[in-house]
Amino acid sequence: MSTAVQTKLSVPTDTDDRPVPLVSVVIPCLNEAENIEECVTAALKALETMGVTGEVVVADNDSEDDSARIAELAGARVVVERRRGYGSAYLAGFAASRGRYIVMADADLTYDFKDIPRFVAALEDGAEMVIGDRMDNIQPGAMPWLHRYIGNPILTGMLNLFFRTGVKDAHCGMRALRRDVLERLALRTTGMEFASEMVIRASKEKLRIAEFPIEYHPRGGESKLSSFRDGWRHLRFLLVHSPNHLFIVPGAALAGVGTLIVVFVASGLDFFGRAWGQHALIGGALLMIVGTQVLTMVLCAHAYGTYFMGEKDPWFDRMRARFRLEHGLLLGSIFVFIGVVMGAVIVASWISHGFGTLSYEHLAVVAATLVIVGIQIFFSSFLLSILGLRRR
């Protein structure tokens, strides 16, 4: 299970005896002894060909082989990150790097380090993040069909749907960014979902993102990916960071359908050519209650993201500017009041009939539903207000 961490990024200073490089090539590494020397050598050669000052930083993720030693002998600066995870390695590599531009690439020979000048050129031209697009240049055997035709297209499509990034290959491992945007990105995740987090945060920060085609080669050595586990991590991250799609859409649908059912059944109107009874009313009430609960949860999720995670959401900002605690308390109280009045009518009727058999079953269900929904709104308003104390 991945966690969220914050790594303090080192900032190159003029007092450092080493010359500040223009480019830092950061390579995460986990048991890549058979590949890492070739990767480091290729990266250094690319920097030499460019004629710029540069460095290669290998973020060794507590390898159990000689990866770290081989990388250092090949000319890389090695930083060891013992917390396992793709994101953990990159966070450590970023913190150790010193270049104005950071180029990222895996240590499995799937990417061509000769493309480094293209990434740097795009940054020089004004891009703040550059991402490679592998999907039209995948060499035979380089990517399993499940990743190529199902996993990557679906996850990239969902990312673009939720966050409108416009990126064609959101999970390409070769990318570059300006060092000065790292603080704005505030990257935290430690697992494979780090790739998604970077694109999502870049989109939310409205960074200038460039993308161009690159080749994707068959990897050297054993793959560390787990298709379903890592795919789920990406999907989970997308959903958690898109509360509108995770909560509002299903919540509004449930509450809306439930309300319609309650109204139609309680009023005795025909629907689909027939009259519906008590069981349909209970089902509608259940949908209405659950939908309201989900909608109150999304408001709390938005509040937490805004006040504690630095998220920016124009919709939530507009809502909190227009509505205050008292509005929620008033709305919840109105629902509870109407429900209580309906309950009082039922009790009064029961008393007037000598405490006999209770009737008004439909009215009782509606009354109970309104009371429950009102209580949800009432106390959720207090919870939102408590979360809002963070901004003061």
State the Cα–Cα distance between residues 344 and 339, nearest whole angstrom. 9
Cα 152 off chain centre by = 16
User: Which among 265, 272, 292, 294 is positioned nearest to 366, based on CA atoms?
Assistant: 265
| Beta bridge partner(s), residue 79 | 59
Angle at 177 between CA 175 and CA 183, to 5 degrees: 130
Please check whether residue 96 is in contact with residue 9, taking contact to mean a CB–CB distance below 8 angstroms.
no
Map tokens 């009215």 to a residue: 363
User: What is the predicted pLDDT for the residue at 50?
Assistant: 94
User: What is the predicted pLDDT for the residue at 14?
Assistant: 43
First to last CA, the chain: 34
At 223, list the tokens.
């793959």
User: Which among 84, 58, 61, 88 is positioned nearest to 73, based on CA atoms?
Assistant: 58
pTM of the model: 0.70
User: What is the predicted pLDDT for the residue at 145?
Assistant: 80
| Beta bridge partner(s), residue 129 | 177, 209
Region for 313 from its dihedrals, namely left if φ exceeds 0, alpha if ψ lies in -120 to 50, beta otherwise: beta
Kindly report, residue by residue over 120-144, the tens digit of the pLDDT.
Answer: 999 999 999 999 999 989 999 888 8
State the Cα–Cα distance between residues 198 and 187, nearest whole angstrom. 7
Kindly give the parts of the chain with pLDDT less than 70. Answer: 1-18, 221, 223-227, 230, 234, 239-243, 245-246, 270-275, 309-313, 356-359, 390-392
In sequence order, the 6+-apart residues with CB closer than 8 A to the CB of 85 are 2, 61, 190, 191, 192, 194
Q: Name the pairing type of β-strands 175-178 and 129-133.
A: antiparallel
Please check whether residue 328 is in contact with residue 303, taking contact to mean a CB–CB distance below 8 angstroms.
no
SS3 33: coil
Please check whether residue 201 is in contact with residue 129, taking contact to mean a CB–CB distance below 8 angstroms.
no
Give the CA distances from residue 85 to residues 49, 295, 376, in Å, rounded to whole numbers and listed in that order: 32, 34, 40
Kindly report, residue by residue over 254-296, the tens digit of the pLDDT.
Answer: 999 999 888 888 877 766 666 677 888 899 999 999 999 988 8
In sequence order, the 6+-apart residues with CB closer than 8 A to the CB of 330 are none
How long, in residues, is the chain? 392
With a pLDDT cut of 70, the percent of the chain lying above it is: 86
Start-end of H helices in the chain: 36-50, 67-73, 86-96, 116-124, 145-146, 152-163, 182-185, 194-204, 227-240, 243, 249-267, 278-308, 314-322, 325-352, 361-388
